[in-house]
Every structure is written in structure tokens, then in C-alpha cells.
Amino acid sequence: MKTEKSRTLNALTSAALAIPAAAVSTNAIADAPPTMTEVGYRYSQYQEDDIAESDKVEDVGSTQRYDINIHQFRVLTPVGDNYSVDATFDYETMSGASPLGTIQGADGDPLLVMSGASIDDTRIDLNVKTTRYYENGNASIIGGYSTEDDYEAFNLGLEGEKHINDKLTTLMGGIGYSDDTIEPTPAPGRVTEEEKYTATTFVGIAQVINAESVLQTSINYAYSDGYLSDPYKLVDQRPDSRSSIAWNTRYRHYLGSLDAAVHADYRLYVDDWDMVSHTVGIEWHQNIDPNLRVIPSFRYYSQSQADFYKPIDVVGIEGDKSSDYRLSPFGAVTFGLSAVAHSYNWKIIVSAERYIADGDLALGTVETEHPGLLQYTLLTVGFDYAF
């Protein structure tokens, strides 16, 4: 099993290296700075559903998981004739309880050991992307900084796009680097400060298929090195490196007779922790009238488990182990509905999404479902204004 998956990873790595470096635009036509300055704001709130009392250790911790609020701000502005600056700022607050680990229940299945509902954290994320536009392409430099009470990260990136074939084909590529430091809340036996870095690279190609459709495919390779464990888990020891490949394919098709656009996305993910995942996303952008668009969406996700995942924590065994639900086998669906009211220089956005993760939704058979799998409802309101 492990050999076969490693072979798959090697094959995808070879495919990635065989594609010449280059990129795809956010818009398959011209390449020029925006003509107006655009400002945007989004407020999002989501509440993770409570853990069932029967899924946790009795009288330990809370059933109430995270309540998260996010404010997003964005400014996109032209600078001179050939440049643009795209800056985003996120302010996120979260509070609630989190799984610390699992123990074996009376029926043999895992029970969650929950923290108290007293965890509070604030996250700030600033990203600035400066783009230089050329006649047949563009180049961007990206810088970012994010911080939480116990976490700090810097990231840098370079991206480029080149249009060829009378702008029917766009080549794309980029590299990125992130340097992260974690300083967990002090506790006996817990690490005090650890670091990791992540290097990423991607290449891709977009092709205009006809006057109504366009296709993009790209491969992203990421390598992380350093402390990749979760210091807050009771038992958690992960490998000190991780290599992954994500192959994304995106398709856009405009249906003139219905005045609607269909978005179809697929991602295949493979890594050297033996995890494989599939993600399919479908969106239907339906114009109701010249000032209103409604967008129903559906996303399906399925992942296999990491090779060192253990549904029940065992203290004292050697080697890598983790009972984190994120490393367990599961599937998930997201149902969404958005509405965008817009005029020539403004937009108002309202959207709702429901996310449900479950062992039964996985592509394969999950013998023991992790009791910490998530469900949540995400609500967003916001606006964009151009001047």
C-alpha cells in the first residue's frame, strides 16, 4: 500500500517537473491593471456544532466547540500605468473548546477528551500583492504576515503569467516560502517554542476552448520541514517533514441561453504521509436580472488517513502517532447559496454554507469514525465598492 502511494507521488512529481514554468490569469482575456480602485469588506461568522455528550469523556471538558468571527478588508488599486496593489487584512476571533485527544470507551470506540470552553484566540493576517503588467503577461510579488496569540508566520511569494497563442493559452507559475513559529501556552511537558518552514511551487496552463469555455490545470508541490505536531494534544508526534502534491483542474462554461456560468473544479492531493484526497466543487452562477446573481454551490471532499493516525491515543509507544481528526479518514460535503446584488460600481454579497463531515461520506470504508468530525454553518455578508 505504502509503495503504491509513493509511486503515485513520484509519478506526479515527475509530471510537475516536466511542465515548463509559467501561469494562468484570473481572467482569460487582457492583462492590464484595474481601471478603478476597489474596496471590499466581508463579515463572516461560523459556529461549529456541539460535540454529542455521548462522544466525549463524561464530566471532562466542554461540548461547545469554536465560535469564530472574521472581518476581511481588501483594497485593490492601480498604481501608475502598469502596476496594481492588492492588500487584504483579516481580523479573526475564536472561542470555545477543542479536542485534546481520545481514549477507548466501554464499547471499544474512541471517546473525545475535550478542553474547557475557555480557549480564546485572535488572528491577524495581512497580505500585500504587487503586480506589474506587461503586454502579454504579468509578474507579482507577495508578502504576508499573520499572528495569533501563540503563532506567528511570515510568507513571501513570486508569481508570473505569460499569454501565448494569441492569448488563447496562458502559462503560469510561482514559488512561495513561509516561516512559522509557535509558542504554545506554557504547560508541564509541552514544548516552549518550535519552528517550521514551508516551500511551495506551482506551474499550470489555461486554455480558451471556445467562446464560452476555458480550462485550467495546475500542479502545486509543497514541502514542510520542522515542528509539524500539535503541542496542545495529549499525545501527538508527527514526522518532521511533509511533501505533498496537489493537482487542480478548473473549468468555466458560460451558458448563453440560460445567462449562467458553470464552475467545475477538481483537486487530487497526495502526500508522503500516505494521505490521498479528492475534492470536487460545482458552482452555478445564475444571473436573475442585470443587477442580481444567485450562486448555489456544492463541494465534496474525501480523504484517507495519515499512515501514523491512531483513532485512540496510546501513551508510551514509540514512533509517530496522532489522533487528530484532521488526519483521520472521512468525507465531507458543503452546500452553499450566495446572492450578489450589483451595479456598475458596487456589490452587496450575502451567503450561507453548511459543512458536514462524516465517516460515511468517505469514498472508502471507514471502520472507526473519529468522534471529533466537524459540522458548521458559515454566514457571510459584505460589499465591494469601486471608485
Partner 1 sequence: MSCKFVNHKFVSNKLMLFPIIIAVLGIEGCTSVQSWERGELARTEMKWDPDPMKSALRDHIYFSKEGSSGGASSGGGGCGCN
Distance of CA 249 to the CA centre of its chain: 15
Which of 297, 272, 275, 298 lies closest to 285, judged by CA? 297
| Position 138 contacts partner 1 (CB under 8 A) | no
| Position 155 contacts partner 1 (CB under 8 A) | yes
| Position 214 contacts partner 1 (CB under 8 A) | yes
Q: Out of 10, 27, 118, 343, point to the residue binding partner 1 (CB under 8 A).
A: 27
| Position 195 contacts partner 1 (CB under 8 A) | no
Candidates 54-62, 77-85, 120-128, 187-195 — which segment interacts with partner 1 by CB under 8 A? 120-128
| Position 130 contacts partner 1 (CB under 8 A) | no
**What burial class does residue 32 get, using C-beta atoms within 10 Å of its C-beta: 0-12 exposed, 13-18 middle, 19+ buried?**
middle
Q: Return all residues near 146 (Cβ < 8 A) that are at least 6 apart.
A: 123, 124, 125, 126, 152, 153
Site for partner 1 in 85-104 (CB under 8 A): 88, 90, 92, 94, 98, 104
Select 83 or 88, whichever has its Cβ closest to partner 1. 88
Q: Out of 53, 316, 367, 387, point to the residue binding partner 1 (CB under 8 A).
A: 367
At which residue does the C-alpha cell 473548546 appear? 97
Q: How far is the CB of 354 from partner 1 (least distance, A)?
A: 13
Rounded CA separation 147/260 (Å) = 40
Q: Out of 83, 151, 308, 385, point to the residue binding partner 1 (CB under 8 A).
A: 151
Which of 27, 10, 25 lies closest to 174, judged by CA? 25
CB atoms within 10 A of CB 205: 19
Q: Out of 61, 176, 235, 236, point to the residue binding partner 1 (CB under 8 A).
A: 176
Select 122 or 192, whichever has its Cβ closest to partner 1. 122
Q: How many residues bind to partner 1 according to rule CB under 8 A?
A: 134
| Position 357 contacts partner 1 (CB under 8 A) | yes
Q: Are 306 and 325 in contact (CB under 8 A)?
A: no
Q: How far is the CB of 189 from partner 1 (least distance, A)?
A: 18
Q: How far is the CB of 13 from partner 1 (least distance, A)?
A: 13
Q: Out of 84, 131, 138, 216, point to the residue binding partner 1 (CB under 8 A).
A: 216
Distance of CA 163 to the CA centre of its chain: 27
Element housing 16 (H / E): helix 2-18
| Position 217 contacts partner 1 (CB under 8 A) | yes
| Position 40 contacts partner 1 (CB under 8 A) | yes
Candidates 52-60, 131-139, 186-194, 310-318 — which segment interacts with partner 1 by CB under 8 A? 310-318
**What burial class does residue 260 get, using C-beta atoms within 10 Å of its C-beta: 0-12 exposed, 13-18 middle, 19+ buried?**
middle
**What burial class does residue 327 get, using C-beta atoms within 10 Å of its C-beta: 0-12 exposed, 13-18 middle, 19+ buried?**
buried
| Position 137 contacts partner 1 (CB under 8 A) | no
Rounded CA separation 15/329 (Å) = 27
| Position 356 contacts partner 1 (CB under 8 A) | no
Rounded CA separation 353/375 (Å) = 11
| Position 71 contacts partner 1 (CB under 8 A) | no
Q: Out of 64, 69, 287, 377, point to the residue binding partner 1 (CB under 8 A).
A: 287
Q: Are 132 and 152 in contact (CB under 8 A)?
A: no
Q: How far is the CB of 148 from partner 1 (least distance, A)?
A: 7
Site for partner 1 in 223-252 (CB under 8 A): 230, 232, 244-252
